[in-house]
Chain A
Amino acid sequence: MRNLEVAARPGQPILDLHDVHVALGGRSVLQGIDVRLAPGELVGVIGPNGAGKTTLLKIILGLLRPDEGSVRIAQRDVREARGLVGYVPQSFAPDPDLPLRARDLVALGLDGSRWGFSLGGARRRAKIDEALAWVDAARFADQPVGRLSGGELQRLLVAQALISDPRIVLLDEPLANLDLRSQDEVVALVGRVAHERDVTVLLVTHDMNPILGVMDRILYLAGGKAALGSVDEVVRGDVLTDLYGHHVDVVRVHGRILVVGGADAESLTCTTCDA
């Protein structure tokens, strides 16, 4: 495990994965992962399909226990720290007629997991308005979510994750299915989340290029192993060849980075693995 932490900030890590091993369906998905992240960092989680990105997210969310190793969030156990982790899922495609307004969707992040029903109140409403305003969604706050665009929905999901004041936010492929302009907006928003609110952001994506400008460090997953560091340190032929287990080249063209030769001999479409 290459852990080039030269760029990390000193102090207590907000997320601490130590020697994490996970095997699913008899197949080893993550081997010996060590990750330490500081508050307010924006880390891109990159890797080919089947490399274990989603598995890693599940570990951090406490939905999956590692076979070996430990996971600590803000020095606490994963279960205890549940309220500190926000999650923006990969897809949210509502029916056009879903009777749910934008503010209702965001409100779910505030108290959706508690029993009973909410009695409303000015303070609650103010909190929701504030969350909506922060992601620049105030103007469609009362629109049914079924009528909103992909970019607008993505912003709402971020607001939903942020409204409970998490310390870490995980985003699973937030840029997929978005047009370029929406992608730029979401990337800018995510950058603000990390740098203005001092929230650690883990952004899983299969293409690192849209987030190159806003990423602090990169966590590259391949072949069950990981490398964590700055883009220049990690995205290099030798480092990636070591991860993938076969020869890989890194090509830079017009400021974009392409990883070539990663026709993943190892990645399997394991449809039942993340059960």
Chain B
Amino acid sequence: MFAFIARLLAAPTVGTALAIGSLVAVTSGVVGAFVVLRGQSFAGHALGDIGTTGAAAAYLGGVPVLYGFIGVGLLGGLAIEGLGERARDRDVATGIILSLMLGIGALLLYVMTQGTNATGGPVAILFGSIFTVDPSVTVPVALFSLLALLLLAFLYRPLVYASVSPQAAKAAGVPVGAVGLLFMLAVAIAVEESALVAGALLSTALLIGPAAAAVRWSRHVGQAAALAALLGLLAVWLGIALAYQSYFWPPGHRGWPVSFFIVMLVLIEYLVARIGRRAPGRAAARREAA
């Protein structure tokens, strides 16, 4: 067991993967807890897809994919948040923006496949590239993560208030619109980092999965955020270890994708939480009846 871990850590790409993966897991978990609280899963998912365009553009431009993801992700976050209040309308509008951006992204991805006649680039963008990512992005990822977490710390109380009772918060003078916007920027950072690790299509897993599981075991958002970060870390570390090990597995000894393992682990965490603990409301009702 220890020999395995030693071997794992010695492998060159794994160190970077673990570092970046850990940063991403923590950020996504914490931000995700609030996304789940605010019921903004679709927006979170949309940001992942929107980021694809930026990533593809960055790749074609020779810039590290991270900046493309985050750049376009931030713009997308602004657009989504600026769409207005009505839930249903916003969902459709989110979807249309998502489609439009993804359409352009699809175009760029297509151009990528034509250019080099290989599917490596698009695969990495869509499904994750944690083992092939340039180690120099570790520091930028750390900085972005720090930014997102600081933003969240700054927004903590007004965000909770605005999420739980927006009307009351507004009446109390909380700038609900600005809070929502800043939060969406933090989400964009978290999602796009996650896209780096697990791919644009799977970024939502790290954002929502651990948070959805954590919420069922926590009494308030702060707890949920911490627990989500831990669950995310668990999934990422175990996922990396398994992916590394899978190089020795059939078929073809090419290794199974890291994103697959991470997503499956996140889902297992969620299912365990769902089966193990009903929604918090019921527990409270049960207690009061006793």
Contact = CB atoms under 8 A, between A and B. Distances in A.
A95 B88 contact: yes
A96 B279 CA distance: 33
A27 B279 CA distance: 17
Interface string B26-70: 000000000000000000000000000000000000000000000
B288 A27 contact: yes
Interface string B269-287: 0000000000101100110
Main secondary structure of the interface of A (DSSP, over half): loop
A97 B86 CA distance: 11
Interface in A5-55: 25-27
Interface residues of B, number: 11
Nearest to A28: B289
Contact of B282 (A95, A96, A97, A272): A272
B89 interface: yes
The size class of the interface chain A forms with chain B is 10 to 19
A96 B87 CA distance: 12
Contacts of B282: 25, 272
A94 to B, nearest CB: 10
B285 A25 contact: yes
Contact of A272 (B86, B88, B281): B281
B285 A272 contact: yes
15 contacts: A25-B285, A25-B286, A26-B285, A26-B286, A27-B285, A27-B288, A27-B289, A95-B86, A95-B89, A268-B285, A268-B288, A270-B281, A271-B281, A272-B279, A272-B285
Given A26-B290, A97-B89, 18 more contacts: A25-B282, A25-B285, A25-B289, A26-B285, A26-B286, A27-B285, A27-B288, A27-B289, A95-B88, A95-B89, A96-B86, A268-B288, A270-B285, A271-B281, A272-B279, A272-B281, A272-B285, A273-B285
